[in-house]
Amino acid sequence: MKTIIIILSFFTITTATSQAAYEKGMGKAFELWGNQKNDEAANLFERIGKAEKENWLPYYYAAQIHIVKTFNTKDAEEIESRLVKAQNYLNEAKTFSKDNAEIMIMEAMLNTAYVVYDGAKYGMTHSGKVEELYQKAKTLEPENPRAILYHADWQMGAAKFWGKDPKAFCPEIEKAILYFEKESPTTPFYPDWGKDQVARIQQNCK
Amino acid sequence: MKSLLTTILFFTTVFIQAQITISGVVTEPSGVPIPGANIYLEGTYDGASSTDDGTFSFTTSETGEQTLVVSFLSFDTYLLTASVTEMKNLKIALKEDVNSLGSVILNAGTFSAGDNSKTSVLTPLDIVTTAGAAGDYIGAFQTLPGTSTVAEDGRLFVRGGDANEANVYIDGLRVFQPFSATANNIPTRGRFSPFLFKGTNFSTGGYSAEYGDALSSVLLLNTIDEPEQEKTDLSFISVGLGVGNTQKWKKNSLSINAFYLNLKPYQELISQRVDWIKPFESFSGEAVYRHQFNNGLFKLYGGLNYTDFELIQEDINVAEGINFGLKNRNLYLNASYKGDLGNDWTLTTGASFANDHNDIKIIETNVDNDDNAAHLKVKLRKRFSNRFKLSFGAEQFIGDFKEEATDNSFGSFQSGFNNNSTAAFSEASIFFNKKLAMQVGIRATHNVLLDFTKVSPRASLAYKIASTSQISLAYGDFYQAPQQEVLKYNNSLDPEKSSHYILNYLYQNNGRTLRAEGYYKSYDRLVKFDTERPEFGSAYNSNGDGYAAGLDLYWRDNKSIKNFEYWASYSYLDTKRNYRNYPERATPNFAAKHNLSLVGKYWAQDWKSLISATYNFASGRPYNDPNTNTFLGKKTRTFNSLNMSWAYLISQQKILFVSVSNVLGFDNVFNYQYANTPNVNGNFARRAIRPTADRFFIVGFFWTISDNKKDNQLDNL
């Protein structure tokens, strides 16, 4: 009996320590990211992803870092390398979590990055993909504020390009704000970003 | 007490473990330090990023044999499996990822277009918005260097080769009749609708050992793997109607496309040089079905095309003209599978089948022919590393041609042949580093009908001389069996042979591309006969030969002027050949010495319009004047054509399209036909071969219906 207790307590302790290591690692990665140490943060997310297995979140954030980085990079070789890397991370994430709206939103952003970087080359092939991913994400999670906000952002961009009024999508932003308020993630490190972009996107509504 | 002790002991063993420090430096092969590389023990949290001087250091409590992973953007991931105690002061030189954007590319002879590859010279939009192409998939390629403007034919004439020297493949499988049936001097079009395809490779020489039976060129089309969305496309054009639909469900998708073309209303409005009895009418239907397996993709393409027309062809020797009528039915099926076999092995396999039936009437003669052809292919590819890949495969061609000609004067005459051949090929591509790469291949073909076996080597080499430029070389031997028109009367000939020598320079920098390619091509064993056309009873031999040499230039600039893209192609061609019924080596009628294309596209944001213009120039083409002593010694006047198109986007899904070819109405002459006998003054009279009309107008309305309201048919124009 005692031995059983000992073994049991041993297991609890080791799982507890691995959980602690995960939380510590993720915390450290977010800290690095917050301090603009993007590549170090992405590296750490990759390490956590590799060590954890079965967990999509580290890969998801590693991908996000690379995608966001391309928006203020000019070097074509770097952009393409980062986007390929980000796609690989998302592919990993998808194997651990199928039909995940958050991953679809991230993949939509990845495809948007291609269009932003070279519209003539990627506009035709990737625009449809962006639209499809946002729609799928919204079907899975109708109240996901990121899906609603970034889809509206994308549609406003298209409307401006076509000389239409982007204001048509302003009610969507209001909806997104509402769902941001309601959002209460239960899993630690679950995505909850995006609220700080509301003001930028709302510029179109003035 | 005892148990307490055990517990404590347990804790100590769990928490107090020896910490080992792992350290080293990460560099490029040249020794330059790499900062920011990710170094870690696989499956653990233990790791670090390299610092600015490339060094790293971290501690671990792991013991024994572990795998150290070092990864960084644009470099191959490095793995080291060893005891952790040995992982000290490591010197790790990462190898460059040869697939990254800055790497050398094996591109001698090849243009890729419409895909997102590094070498792409035309974007997907270009293929279809190029003025003058009029929605013909082939049209845009005729603005690339290495092609000759042969406006009365419409097919691809590459580097001094005639149109039969270029073969077309869909998903790696041969297309036997890629062009619509037509009459002499009336340009043909590709049979395929552009929107079913993604990337294209157009090779003007020195192509892979995977492809054979073409002396000059291969055009490789790939169907779309996965359509983006469900949609319906409607097209209303001044010369026809089209409808397309795409459906997706689970792991399947189906795209269908149908087009009806009738030139009658158009020809009643705009006068033609041709006397049509029954104007050109055609119906074509295409479908692509795709199924995604866990480790592979199956695609089935089917196309059915029916064409019918009748006309009086002007002829200098026949005052009342020649009555020519044609009914063509073409069925083409293509099934392919590409899948992963694991362990970096890839299998590509498939089969294509074509049935082509012609019912031709020439004055009082009726010709009925039926051509069945099939291609079976299997290819395996092994990726040993990013740097070394090997592919090999085998293919079988089966051909069965039958023809029956009936005429009151000679009754009925039958001809036909079975043309079967087997080929095997193997090719290795080797990247020595990011700067130097080569590909070597070999192909062996055995043809049963002509009873020959030929082995042809292929090789190419590329070297990056600076971050924005590279040079490459290619060499290859190519064999092609004689054409159907000859094989139906004679099957004791040799295959025709060509050898290509290519030197290519490529400069790519921030939206600007310069490509210069010089080549020499020799021809040997070309088919000769002693009549004007191949006939039953003509004397045939394989003693023809020739050469082609030239320089192709391509310049493209997307960046210098906002919203304006342009490219310029220039080809210099020096070629002579002795083939068919030529008495001596001469430059054939289809080969102009200078060819120039200028293509410009302007996106007018305020007008929501894409305005496109193409100017084509070709120097005079040789023609034969029997009033002189020199064979093919005269030259026509130069060819000029300015084509314009305007696509107006009414809304995101509705497009209005107007296109006019030869806006300025240049009076072009392609060739002259001379009388067989001299007139009373002892001169041979002639007639000019000119376009069927100086200008061609298209007005169209394209409407796409889809859920997301984003897509449009700009890619179909």
- Looking at per-residue pLDDT, the higher value among B634 and B237 belongs to B634
Q: Tell me the two tokens of residue B458.
A: 């292929």
DSSP B265-296: HHHHHS--SSEEEEEEEEEEEEEEEEEE-SSE
For residue B14, which residues of chain A lie inside 8 Å, CB to CB? 10, 13-14, 17
Residue A152 CA to residue A156 CA, distance in Å, equals 6
State the average pLDDT for chain B.
88
Question: So what's the pLDDT on residue A5?
Answer: 61
Nearest to B269 by CA among B238, B292, B291, B293: B238
Which residues, 6 or more positions from B26, have their beta carbon under 8 angstroms from its beta carbon?
B33, B34, B37, B39, B50, B54, B55, B56, B70, B72, B92, B94
Of B452, B476, B473, B451, give the one whose Cα is nearest residue B462: B473
pLDDT of residue B196: 78
May I ask the CATH architecture of the domain B110-716? Beta Barrel (2.40)
What is the Cα–Cα distance from B607 to B650, expressed in whole angstroms?
10
> Residue B308 is inside which H or E element, if any?
strand B296-315
CB B477: neighbour CB atoms within 10 A?
A: 17
Instruction: List, in sequence order, the alpha helices (H) in B197-337.
Output: 264-269
B628-679 confidence digits (pLDDT tens) = 999 999 999 999 999 998 988 887 778 888 888 899 999 999 999 999 999 9
Alpha-carbon distance of B447 to B457, in angstroms, equals 18
User: Domain check: are A87 and A29 in the same one?
Assistant: yes
In this predicted structure, the answer to whether residue B715 has a pLDDT above a threshold of 50 is: no
B456: helix, strand or coil: strand
- Kindly state whether residues A54 and A122 are assigned to the same domain: yes
Confidence band of B275 (pLDDT split at 50, 70, 90): confident
Tell me the C-alpha to C-alpha distance, in Å, between residue B223 and each of B189, B336, B379: 18, 10, 18
Question: CA B612, CA B122: separation in Å to the nearest integer?
Answer: 14
Quick: pLDDT tens for B394-423: 999 999 999 999 998 888 999 999 999 999
pLDDT tens for each residue of B47-70: 999 999 999 999 988 888 999 999
Average pLDDT score over residue span B152-180: 92
Ranges of residues in chain A with a pLDDT under 70 are 1-17
- B116: nearest CB among A9, A122, A162: A122
Rounded average pLDDT over B413-437: 93
Angle CA B435–B437–B439, to nearest 5: 170
Nearest Cα residue to B592 out of B548, B626, B644: B548
Size of chain B in residues: 717
Q: Helix B2-15 crosses helix A2-34 at what angle (to 10 degrees)?
A: 30
Q: Which residue spans within B84-230 are E strands per DSSP? A: 90-93, 110-113, 120-122, 166-170, 173-175, 197-203, 217-223
Q: What integer pLDDT is reported at residue B716 of this predicted model?
A: 41
Q: Are A128 and B116 within 8 A, CB to CB? A: no
CB contact (8 A) between residue B710 and residue A127:
yes
3-state secondary structure of A175: helix
> For residues B40 and B47, what is the distance between their CA atoms, to the nearest angstrom?
4
- Least CB–CB distance from B73: residue in A17, A81, A158: A81
When pLDDT is cut at 50, 70 and 90, the band that residue B713 belongs to is: low
> Are B330 and B177 a contacting pair, CB within 8 Å?
yes
Confidence of residue B538 (pLDDT cuts 50, 70, 90): very high
Q: CA angle, corner B265, sides to B260 and B271, nearest 5? A: 130
**CA separation for the pair B16, B61 (Å, rounded):** 9
User: At B405, which amino acid appears?
Assistant: A
B97 exposed, middle or buried (CB, 10 Å; 0-12, 13-18, 19+)? buried
Average confidence (pLDDT) over B245-255: 90
The last residue of one of the domains, among A68, A97, A126, is A126
Query: Do residue A60 and residue A115 come from a single domain?
Result: yes
Q: Which residue is closest to B609 within chain A, CA to CA?
A: A162
Name residues whose C-beta falls within 8 Å of residue A51's C-beta, 6 or more positions apart in sequence: B43, B44, B45
> In this predicted model, what pLDDT tens digit does every residue of B365-374 receive, in sequence order?
999 999 999 9
CB contact under 8 A, A10 and B120: no
Question: Of the candidates A97, A126, A155, which is a domain's last residue?
Answer: A126
At residue A83, the pLDDT reads 93
- Domain co-membership, A26 together with A117: yes
pLDDT score recorded for residue A4: 62
Scanning the structure block, which residue is given the tokens 């005079």?
B620
Coil, strand or helix at B367: strand
Contact A77 B125 (CB under 8 A): no
Q: How far is CA B63 from the centre of its chain?
A: 56
Confidence of residue B7 (pLDDT cuts 50, 70, 90): low
Using alpha carbons only, give the angle B702, B703, B709 rounded to the nearest 5 degrees.
135
Tell me which chain A residue has its CA closest to the CA of residue B117: A121
Which ipTM score applies to this complex? 0.81
Q: Distance between CA atoms of A82 and B265, rounded to whole angstroms?
A: 55
List alpha helices for chain A, DSSP H: 2-34, 38-52, 57-70, 76-96, 101-117, 119-140, 145-161, 170-182, 198-202
- A vs B: CB pairs below 8 A: 98
A6 to chain B: closest CA residue:
B7
Query: Of B42, B23, B30, which Cα lies nearest the Cα of B75?
Result: B30
pLDDT category at B27 given cuts 50, 70, 90 is: very high
Mean pLDDT in residue range B104-127: 69
Q: Do B123 and A124 touch (CB under 8 A)?
A: yes
Tell whether A132 is covered by a domain.
Answer: no
Half-sphere exposure (Cβ direction) of A101: Cα atoms closer than 13 Å: 20
pLDDT confidence tier of residue B139, bands split at 50, 70 and 90: confident
Residue A81 sits in the same domain as residue A47: yes
Phi and psi, residue B622, nearest 5°:
-65, 145
Tokens of B650: 């009414």
Contact A87, A134 (CB under 8 A): no
The answer, yes or no, to whether residue B717 has pLDDT greater than 50, is: no
Is B240 in a helix, a strand, or coil?
Answer: strand
Q: Is A9 a domain residue?
A: no
> pLDDT at position A125, please?
74
Pairwise CA distance, residues B697 & B717, whole Å: 14
The shortest C-alpha distance from A38 to chain B (Å) reads 10
Average pLDDT over residues B593-603: 92
Torsion of CA B444, B448, B449, B454, to 10 degrees: 20
Give the per-residue pLDDT at A1: 56
Q: Is B455 exposed, middle or buried (0-12, 13-18, 19+ CB in 10 A)?
A: exposed
A26 belongs to a structural domain: yes
Length of chain A: 206
Cα–Cα distance between B561 and A14 in angstroms, integer?
A: 63
Backbone angles phi, psi at B650, to 5 degrees: -60, -45
Number of separate domains in chain A: 2
Question: Quick one: A45 and A106 in the same domain?
Answer: yes
Q: Give the CA distances from residue B342 to residues A93, B383, B384, B497, in Å, rounded to whole numbers and listed in that order.
A: 21, 11, 12, 39
Point out the least confidently predicted range of B10-14, B351-355, B381-385, B590-594. Answer: B10-14
> Which chain B residue's Cα is nearest to A10?
B10
Averaging pLDDT over each range in B29-43, B75-89, B387-401, B684-698, which range is the top one? B387-401
Token couple for B695: 């200008």
Q: At what angle do helices A101-117 and A57-70 cross, to 10 degrees?
A: 20
Q: Which of B715, B603, B631, B617 is nearest to B666 (CA)?
A: B617
Cβ-Cβ contacts under 8 Å, A51 against chain B: 43-45
pLDDT at B126 over 80: no
> How far apart are the C-alpha atoms of B164 and B183, rounded to whole Å?
16
| Out of A10, A21, A128, closest to residue B229 by CB | A128
Cα-based distances in Å from B659 to B127, B133, B383, B620, B700: 15, 10, 47, 26, 9
Q: Is the pLDDT of residue B336 over 90?
A: yes
Domain ranges, residue A196: 142-206
Domain covering B17-93: architecture: Sandwich (2.60)
User: What residue segments make up the domains of chain B, in order of their start?
Assistant: 17-93, 110-716
Asked if residue A131 is part of any domain, the answer here is no
Contact (CB<8Å) B45/A48: yes
Instruction: Give percent of chain B with pLDDT exceeding 70.
Output: 93
Residue B52: closest C-alpha in chain A: A40
Searching chain A, which residue's CA lies closest to the CA of residue B98? Answer: A81
Taking CA atoms, A191 is separated from A55, A100, A106, A138, A172, in Å, by 13, 12, 11, 16, 20
In a domain, A13, yes or no: no
Which residue has 């314009």 as its token pair?
A: B644
**Residue B573 in tokens:** 């061609």
DSSP β-bridge partners for residue B309:
B326
User: Does one domain contain both A110 and A179?
Assistant: no
Q: Are B208 and B427 in contact (CB under 8 A)?
A: yes
- Determine the residue among A1, A22, A50, A160 to mutate to test chain B binding: the one whose Cβ has the most chain B Cβ atoms within 10 Å: A50
Residue A135 lies in a domain: no
Query: B464 to chain A, minimum CA–CA distance in Å?
Result: 15
CATH of the domain at A39: 1.25.40.10
| All residues at 6 or more sequence positions from A17 whose CB lies less than 8 Å from its CB, including other chains | B14
Q: From the DSSP assignment, how many helices (H) and strands (E) are in chain B? A: 4, 40
Give residue B173's Cα distance to chain centre: 12
DSSP state of B482: P
What one-character-per-residue DSSP string does B24-76 give? Answer: EEEE-TTS-B-TT-EEEETTSS-EEE--TTSEEEEEE---SEEEEEEE-TTB-
Maximum mean pLDDT: which of B121-130, B369-378, B563-572, B695-704: B369-378
Residue B104's pLDDT band (cuts 50, 70, 90): confident
Q: Which of A27-36, B118-127, B273-282, B321-330 comes out lowest in average pLDDT?
A: B118-127
